[in-house]
Amino acid sequence: MSKFLLPVGLILLLVLVGLPQLLYPLWFDQGVFATCADVLRGGGMMYRDCWDVRGAATPVVYALARVVSSQPIAIHILDLFWQGLTALVLGDLARRLFRSQLSAVFASGLYLLLYGSLNYWAVSQAEGFANLFVVLSIWLGYKQLGSKTLTSAFMAGISIGMTFWFKYPFVAFAVLPILTLAIWPNDPQKNKAILATLAGGFATIAAGLALIVVQGTLPDWWLHIRYDLATFAQVTLQDRWIWLTSLFREEIVTFMLIGNVPMAGWKDTVQSINWLGRGFPPVVFAMTCSLVLLLNSGFTRQRLIAFFYLVLGVALNIWQGHSYRYHFVIWLPAMALCAASSVAGVRFRPLRIISGMACIAAMIGLAASIAPWTADAVSNLFIERKSMNAIHAESKLGDYVSLAAFIEEKTLPAEPSVIFSDVPAVYALANRPMGMAFPYVRWITEGRDLEVTTAYQVRMISQIAARKPRFFILSKDDYPWPTAQFINVWKGWPQLHEYIESHYHYALDIGQFAIFEKN
């Protein structure tokens, strides 16, 4: 009976923390993934027919959800199930590493609560989906120890290979299962297991590349890689240092103090509860206690894995050279694992009791911060019986809903439109195709490889001319965020500006959008 208590408890906790997330809308990244998912479902190919800076795995996950329903709730349900599975594997990993059922409970519970406290643009992201494969790779690496076969090691490599296709830098997490295998002495299969892990990773990446070749999209994928390398990997050391000591420092301090505030400008009417720093300071305190134990007591190897997991996550964020709060999602399993490890062991009992109380305080603070959102979700869904569109229309994303409804009403199912902005969610909400391969257009100003940017501009104009979208839509200045000026970007691109001026006429405004209709 006891072995079922943790899964049942996680299911109940998932219902508590997950209900508010079912109401979350699609923001920028989720909109990209959902729009590309629809392209894939329609027989299109990533990078040729739908472009993004990340790997193709997340749109594939979205496509699975959107087979069931095109409403945002479908992907959020899948995401919550995914995170519940991640919490279950993380809990079992903690139990195996620290030989403590209490550590398992804290690791699972803290992870779910940390994830439940995220705002609407931090969930259903590549980071959250990749977490499962990173945790699973460590779990498989530990399971490999003492085994007579190399199956677990190879599967650990496959898990890490999968993270590559969510976001390319995540392949660095391969260090974790390899470290797990390397630091345990007296294992005769150690070297072979490490090679098997590497083989599994390379095989998974190679399989993805082979599929790209078979699809005939290798040139498109390579152009996308060139964009990524120029825009993200080739940031100067001086720029990285300025970012590290300014924005990133502010972001990390804020994250450690209050995490990701769920409202984040979506629904400012929901009460904010900040008990115990929304639970994050107690988590950091428990992690600090675990660090003390790492330096002074047993379980050194096990705790080393947990802390190296966190250090690697931080390093990956720094390497990216820019920071959005959802990037910290890759830290959450490591934070939960480090904090949970503080209650394991036989020495330093007073410190372990104090850190256990900190874990409990963290769970209370996190649950309290989520409670108003759960109450709001219950009120909207079961008392007022509002539709999802009505709930989203009451938020800062109301113009998304209005524009999507307009496009859906005025166009045929296969009739495309072009939204020259960074609001890709509108395509997914309208259930209408794009008139180009680019769900968003920030790459026009952000791209650092002029040859790649020029190639994409040529592609965009040729696609618009060939597909003849019904509407060409611009977002007004300072929307969808302050300093956005997509009208100026359009006017500063002579070929596109002249084409639209010649073939389209201004029709009307809908909220923050100016709509041009084909002549």
For residue range 6-57, what is the model confidence (pLDDT) as tens digits? 677 767 777 777 888 888 888 899 999 999 999 999 999 999 999 999 999 9
Name 196's Cβ contacts closer than 8 Å, sequence gap at least 6: 150, 153, 154, 157
- In the three-class reduction of DSSP (H, G, I as helix; E, B as strand; rest coil), residue 407 is classed as helix
pLDDT score for 477 = 93
Residues 209 and 221: their CA atoms lie apart, in Å, by: 9
Residues 141 and 187: their CA atoms lie apart, in Å, by: 13
- Stated pTM of the model: 0.93
pLDDT score for 346 = 58
CA atoms within 13 A on the CB side of 299: 28
Q: Which residues of the chain have pLDDT under 50?
A: 1
Burial bucket for residue 483 (CB in 10 Å: 0-12, 13-18, 19+): exposed
Q: How far is C-alpha 340 from the chain's CA centre? A: 23
pLDDT score for 183 = 86
CA dihedral 353, 359, 360, 361 (to 10 degrees): 110
- The pair of structure tokens assigned to 454 is 């020029």
Q: How far is C-alpha 129 from the chain's CA centre? A: 7
pLDDT, one tens digit per residue, over 330-354 is 999 999 999 999 888 757 778 888 9
pLDDT score for 1 = 47
Question: Can you state the percent helix, strand and coil of the chain, rounding each to 5?
Answer: 70, 5, 25
Residues 517 and 519: their CA atoms lie apart, in Å, by: 6
Residue with tokens 């490890």: 341
- CATH numbers and ranges of domains, the chain: 2-42+54-373 (no CATH), 393-518 (3.40.50)
Q: What is the CA radius of gyration of the chain?
A: 24
User: How many Cβ atoms sit within 10 Å of the Cβ of residue 272?
Assistant: 13
Sign of CA dihedral 82, 259, 315, 439: positive
pLDDT score for 264 = 54
